[in-house]
C-alpha cells in the first residue's frame, strides 16, 4: 500500500465504525492489519470478527440479549483502536510527521525510566543550588537546569507519542500528575502531552487520566488544564466519547465535584470567545493600534510642558485641558475600547505577540504548553540572573498568557539595558497598582479559576494557530462547532439557562447567528425562563441571519404578550418589508408611528415604504415632515430631491440637490441624480458637466459610472430622455474611446 492508500483505508474504516457498519469496517481494518503483518493485531481482529459473527447469529435466531448494545459498543471501540494501531504501525518507520519522529527517537525509552532519571536530575539541581561552593557558579546551575528541561521535554514527547496508553503507563502518569513528586510546571506539561496525543489519536485511557486529574489534583493550574483538555477532547471525538460507558460513568461522578459546573461553564464561555479571536486580532492590528500610532506626534506635542519636558500620563489630572484634548482626539475612546475587550476576556494581545513566536524557544513543541516560571533557563539567559525581579514581575502580569510571557522575556533579551530597565520600572508600577486594587477587594476564588482557564485557552489558541507543524493535529480551535452544549456527555451541565443566555448574547454580539439561535431556542422551553423577551432575542437572531420568516414568527409570538412594544412592532414591519409584503410593513410602521410620533427615523422609513409602492406624493409628504422634525440634520433632503424629480418638479429637485452640494457632503450618486434633473430640463451641457463630477467622485471608474447610469434607465425614459440619448451620454461623459 502507498501512504495515500493507507490514509484512505484508515479514513474509510473510521467512517464505517462511526456509522456502525461493522462488517465493512472489519474488512477495511483487515486490509491494514494484513499489510502490517503483526500477529497480535491479527489475533485481536479475529476475536472481534468471531464476536460480531455470533452476535449476528443470535439476532437471526431471535435470541434476546440485554447486553447486545454494550457488546456492540465494545466491538466498535476495539475496532477504532485496532484501526489506529494498524495505521500508526504502517507509518511508524517512514513518516516525517513529528508524532512518528518522536516515536522513533523514544522507541527504547520507558516512561518509568524517564521519570526516574528526571527526578534524579532535579535532586542534583537542588543540591547545586543550595551548595555554598556552587551558588556563585551560574554556569553549573544553568547546565543542570538545562538537563532537567531536556528531560521534561523527553517526558512530554514520550507521553504524547505513546499509543495506546498501557495500564502500567497510565498508573505511572496518575501518580506523577496527581501527587507531588514532580514540579507543578512538569505536571502541567504532562497534562498537555496527554491532550496533544488525543489530538492525533483518541485513547480512552488518556482521557480518563485527564478527568481523574481534575478530581484528584490539589493544584489549580493542573486541575483546570486537565478539565479544559478533557472538554476539548470530548468535542473533538464526539462520536467515540458519547458511546463510551466508562466516560459517561466518570463524568457522572464528577457532577458532585465542587466547582465542576462553574469550571465547565467558564471553559465553554472562553472557547466561545476564542472563536472571535481573529476578528479581535484584526480590529486591534488594523484599527486601534494604527489610529493611536497616527496620533503620536500630536500626543508628544500636546503633552510637553513649557520646558519641553514630556508630561507623565499618570499626571494627566494636573491639567484638565490635556484630558479634554485626549477625549477630543479619540485616544480616550480607543483606550476604553481596548480595556473593554480586555475585561470581557477577549484575546487582545495576540496581534502584538503573534510575530514573537519565531524564537528558537518555540521550535520545541512542549514549550508552547509550558507554564511561565522565572527559573526557566530561557528566562535566566535572556534577562540575566541579576534581573530575576523583572521575571517575577512578568510572571504575575495579568492578562498575558504563558506563551506571551515567554515571548516578552525573549524579546527583552534583545533590548539595550536602558530600555529594559525602563520597561521593568513600568511593569513594576503597573503590577503594584493592580496588587493594591486586588488588596482592596475580597478574595475571589471563582475569578482566579476563570483567569487560569482564560490564559490556558489562549495558550492553546496560539499553538493551534501559530506552531509551524500545527496541521499535523486535529484543528480543534477551527471547529465551527466548538460548542459543548452539543456534546451529549456534558449536556446536563452545559445546557444551563444562565450559560445558554450568556453564550447566546456572546454569539450574537460576534455575528455567529446560527449558534445564537441554537442557544436561545434551547432556552425557550426551559421552566426557569419566564421572560417573554426570549422570543424577541430569537427573532432578532433569525433576522440578522437573513431568515425573515422565522424571525417574523417569533416577533409575532412576542406581540401576543406585548402589543405596544415599539421596538418589536418596527422589527415586524422590517421583516414584512424584507419579504416584499409592503402593505403589511406599512401597517406596522404606522402603528409604531402612532406610538412614537416624534421619531424621525420612523417617519423616513414610512416614506421609503411608500416610495417602494410608487406612492410618490405620499412619500414626499413624509419626507417633508421628517425634514421639519429634524432641524439641522439633512437626512430628508436626498429623498425629497429624488421624489421631486420623479414627480417632474425639476426646480424643487434642483434646489435640494444644490442645498446638498452647498451645505452637505455630496456623493457621486448625488451628482449623478443632479445631472438627471438638468438633463430632463434640457440643459444637456450642464448635465454632462455634472455627470463628469460624479465620474470623478468614482475615481474615474467609467465602468462603475456606466452601470450606475444604466440603473436609472427606466426613470429617464419616463421623463422623456430617449434611449438614443441614454446610449450617447456615457460616451460623452467618459470619452469616446473608453470601453463599456
Q: Is the pLDDT of residue 615 over 80?
A: yes
List Cβ neighbours of 166 (8 Å cut-off, separation of 6 or more).
205
- The C-alpha angle 320, 322, 326, rounded to 5 degrees, equals 120
Task: Please state the rounded mean pLDDT for residues 113-125.
Answer: 94
Answer with the residue of higher pLDDT: 390 or 606: 606
Same domain, yes or no: 287 and 428: yes
Same domain, yes or no: 300 and 439: yes
| C-alpha of 607 from chain center | 41
Same domain, yes or no: 159 and 194: yes
Domain boundary among 69, 95, 121: 95
In the chain, what percentage of residues exceed pLDDT 70? Answer: 85
| Mean residue pLDDT across the chain | 87
Same domain, yes or no: 255 and 308: no
pLDDT band at 123 (very low <50, low <70, confident <90, very high): very high
**DSSP E strands: which ranges in 512-553?**
none
User: What is the Cα–Cα distance from 456 to 401, expressed in whole angstroms?
Assistant: 7
Same domain, yes or no: 50 and 175: no
pLDDT of residue 443: 67
The phi, psi pair for 335, rounded to 5°, reads -65, -40
Q: Is the pLDDT of residue 219 over 90?
A: yes
Same domain, yes or no: 415 and 517: no
Q: Is the pLDDT of residue 486 over 80?
A: no
Same domain, yes or no: 75 and 51: yes
Domain that holds residue 380: 277-461
DSSP 375-424: TSHHHHHHH-GGGHHHHHHHHT-TT--HHHHHHHHHHHTTS-HHHHHHHH
Residues facing residue 304 across a β-bridge: 310
Answer with the residue of higher pLDDT: 46 or 352: 46
Q: Is the pLDDT of residue 288 over 90?
A: no
pLDDT of residue 703: 93
- For residue 550, the domain's CATH number is 1.25.40.10
Q: Is the pLDDT of residue 317 over 60?
A: no
Between 369-378, 481-490, 543-552, the lowest mean confidence (pLDDT) is in 481-490
Answer with the residue of higher pLDDT: 291 or 207: 207
- Whether 625 is in a domain gets the answer no
Same domain, yes or no: 132 and 219: yes
Same domain, yes or no: 538 and 450: no
Nearest to 225 by CA among 212, 238, 210: 210
pLDDT of residue 525: 77
pLDDT of residue 195: 98
User: What is the Cα–Cα distance from 33 to 548, expressed in whole angstroms?
Assistant: 54
Q: Is the pLDDT of residue 315 over 70?
A: no
Same domain, yes or no: 23 and 118: no
User: What is the Cα–Cα distance from 157 to 128, expressed in whole angstroms?
Assistant: 27
- Whether 505 is in a domain gets the answer yes
Residues, the chain, total? 740
CB count within 10 Å of CB 472 equals 15
- Whether 699 is in a domain gets the answer no
Between 149-153, 315-319, 535-539, 660-664, the lowest mean confidence (pLDDT) is in 315-319
pLDDT of residue 308: 45
Same domain, yes or no: 284 and 432: yes
pLDDT of residue 740: 43
CA torsion 649→655→656→661, rounded to 10°? 140
User: What is the Cα–Cα distance from 678 to 3, expressed in whole angstroms?
Assistant: 72
Q: Is the pLDDT of residue 689 over 60?
A: yes
Question: For 380-437, what is each residue's pLDDT tens digit?
Answer: 888 776 666 778 878 887 778 999 999 988 888 777 777 767 766 666 666 666 566 5
Question: For 13-54, what is each residue's pLDDT tens digit?
Answer: 999 999 999 999 999 999 999 999 999 999 999 999 999 999
Question: For 573-592, what is each residue's pLDDT tens digit?
Answer: 999 999 999 999 999 999 99
Q: Is the pLDDT of residue 134 over 70?
A: no
- Contacts of 546-553 spanning 24+ positions with Cβ under 8 A: 548/575, 548/578, 548/579, 549/575, 549/579, 551/575, 552/576, 552/579
pLDDT of residue 66: 87
- Whether 635 is in a domain gets the answer no
Q: Is the pLDDT of residue 728 over 60?
A: yes
Same domain, yes or no: 354 and 500: no
The total domain count for the chain is: 4
pLDDT band at 313 (very low <50, low <70, confident <90, very high): very low
Nearest to 459 by CA among 362, 551, 564, 321: 362
Between 29-38, 192-201, 326-335, 533-542, the lowest mean confidence (pLDDT) is in 326-335
pLDDT of residue 310: 40
Rounded to a whole number, what is the distance in angstroms from the first to the last CA of the chain? Answer: 57
pLDDT of residue 347: 79
Nearest to 575 by CA among 607, 604, 600, 538: 538
Domain boundary among 527, 550, 580: 580
Amino acid at each position: 500500500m502507498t501512504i495515500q492508500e493507507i490514509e484512505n483505508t484508515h479514513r474509510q474504516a473510521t467512517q464505517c465504525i462511526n456509522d456502525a457498519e461493522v462488517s465493512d469496517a472489519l474488512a477495511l481494518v483487515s486490509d491494514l492489519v494484513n499489510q502490517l503483518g503483526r500477529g497480535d493485531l491479527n489475533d485481536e481482529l479475529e476475536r472481534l470478527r468471531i464476536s460480531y459473527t455470533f452476535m449476528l447469529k443470535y439476532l437471526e435466531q431471535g435470541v434476546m440479549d440485554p447486553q447486545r448494545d454494550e457488546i456492540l459498543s465494545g466491538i466498535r471501540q476495539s475496532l477504532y483502536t485496532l484501526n489506529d494501531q494498524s495505521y500508526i504501525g504502517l507509518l511508524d518507520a517512514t513518516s516525517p510527521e513529528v508524532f512518528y519522529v518522536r516515536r522513533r527517537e523514544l522507541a527504547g525509552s520507558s516512561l518509568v525510566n524517564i521519570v526516574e532519571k528526571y527526578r534524579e536530575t532535579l535532586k542534583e539541581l537542588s543540591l547545586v543550588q543550595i551548595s555554598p561552593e556552587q551558588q556563585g557558579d551560574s554556569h553549573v546551575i544553568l547546565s543542570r537546569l538545562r538537563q532537567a528541561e531536556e528531560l521534561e521535554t523527553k517526558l512530554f514527547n514520550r507521553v504524547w507519542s505513546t499509543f495506546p496508553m498501557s495500564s502500567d503507563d497510565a498508573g505511572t502518569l496518575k501518580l506523577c500528575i496527581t501527587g507531588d513528586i514532580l514540579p507543578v510546571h512538569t505536571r502541567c506539561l504532562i497534562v498537555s502531552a496527554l491532550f496533544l496525543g488525543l489530538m492525533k489519536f483518541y485513547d480512552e485511557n488518556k482521557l480518563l487520566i485527564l478527568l481523574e486529574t481534575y478530581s484528584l489534583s490539589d493544584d489549580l493550574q493542573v486541575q483546570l488544564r486537565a478539565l479544559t483538555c478533557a472538554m476539548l477532547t470530548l468535542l473533538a471525538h464526539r462520536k467515540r466519547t458519547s458511546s463510551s460507558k466508562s466516560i459517561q460513568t466518570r463524568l457522572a461522578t464528577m457532577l458532585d465535584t465542587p466547582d465542576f459546573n462553574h469550571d465547565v461553564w467558564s471553559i465553554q464561555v472562553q472557547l466561545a470567545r476564542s472563536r472571535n479571536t481573529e476578528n479581535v486580532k484584526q480590529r486591534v492590528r488594523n484599527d486601534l493600534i494604527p489610529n493611536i500610532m497616527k496620533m503620536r506626534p500630536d500626543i508628544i506635542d500636546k503633552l510637553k510642558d513649557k520646558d519641553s519636558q514630556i508630561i507623565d500620563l499618570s499626571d494627566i489630572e494636573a491639567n484638565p485641558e490635556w484630558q479634554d484634548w485626549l477625549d477630543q482626539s479619540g485616544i480616550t475612546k480607543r483606550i476604553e475600547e481596548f480595556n473593554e475587550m480586555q475585561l470581557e476576556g477577549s484575546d487582545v494581545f495576540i496581534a502584538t505577540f503573534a510575530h514573537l513566536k519565531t524564537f528558537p524557544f518555540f521550535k520545541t513543541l512542549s514549550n508552547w504548553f509550558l507554564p511561565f516560571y522565572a527559573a526557566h533557563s530561557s528566562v535566566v539567559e535572556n534577562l540575566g540572573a541579576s534581573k530575576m525581579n523583572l521575571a517575577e514581575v512578568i510572571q504575575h502580569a495579568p492578562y498575558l498568557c504563558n506563551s506571551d510571557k515567554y515571548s516578552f522575556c525573549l524579546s527583552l533579551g534583545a533590548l539595550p539595558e536602558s530600555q529594559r530597565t525602563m520597561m521593568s520600572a513600568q511593569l513594576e508600577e503597573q503590577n503594584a497598582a493592580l496588587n493594591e486594587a486586588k488588596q482592596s477587594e475580597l478574595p475571589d476564588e471563582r475569578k482566579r479559576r476563570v483567569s487560569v482557564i482564560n490564559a490556558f485557552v489562549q495558550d492553546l489558541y496560539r499553538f493551534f494557530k501559530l506552531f509551524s507543524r500545527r496541521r499535523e493535529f486535529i484543528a480543534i480551535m477551527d471547529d465551527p462547532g466548538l460548542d459543548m452544549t452539543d456534546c451529549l456527555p456534558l449536556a446536563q451541565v452545559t445546557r444551563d439557562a444562565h450559560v445558554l443566555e450568556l453564550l447566546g448574547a456572546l454569539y450574537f454580539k460576534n455575528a455567529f447567528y446560527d449558534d445564537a439561535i441554537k442557544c436561545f431556542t434551547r432556552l425557550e422551553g426551559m421552566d426557569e425562563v419566564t421572560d417573554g423577551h426570549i422570543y424577541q432575542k430569537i427573532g432578532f437572531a433569525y433576522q440578522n441571519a437573513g431568515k425573515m420568516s422565522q424571525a417574523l414568527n417569533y416577533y409575532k409570538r412576542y406581540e401576543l404578550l406585548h402589543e405596544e412594544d415599539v421596538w418589536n412592532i418596527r422589527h415586524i414591519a422590517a421583516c414584512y418589508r424584507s419579504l416584499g409584503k409592503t402593505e403589511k410593513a406599512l401597517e406596522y410602521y404606522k402603528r409604531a408611528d402612532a406610538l412614537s410620533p416624534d421619531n424621525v427615523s420612523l417617519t423616513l422609513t414610512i416614506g421609503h415604504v411608500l416610495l417602494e409602492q410608487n406612492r410618490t406624493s405620499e412619500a414626499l409628504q413624509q419626507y417633508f415632515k421628517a425634514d421639519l422634525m429634524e432641524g439641522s440634520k439633512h437626512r430628508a433632503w436626498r429623498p425629497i430631491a429624488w421624489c421631486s424629480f420623479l414627480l417632474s418638479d425639476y426646480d424643487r429637485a434642483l434646489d435640494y440637490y444644490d442645498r446638498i452640494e452647498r451645505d452637505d457632503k455630496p456623493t457621486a450618486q448625488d451628482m449623478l441624480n443632479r445631472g438627471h434633473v438638468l438633463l430632463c430640463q434640457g440643459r444637456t451641457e450642464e448635465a454632462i458637466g455634472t455627470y463628469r463630477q460624479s465620474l470623478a467622485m468614482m475615481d474615474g471608474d467609467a465602468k462603475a459610472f456606466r452601470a450606475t447610469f444604466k440603473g436609472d434607465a427606466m426613470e429617464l425614459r419616463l421623463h422623456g430622455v430617449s434611449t438614443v440619448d441614454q446610449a450617447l451620454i456615457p460616451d460623452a461623459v467618459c470619452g469616446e474611446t473608453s470601453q463599456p
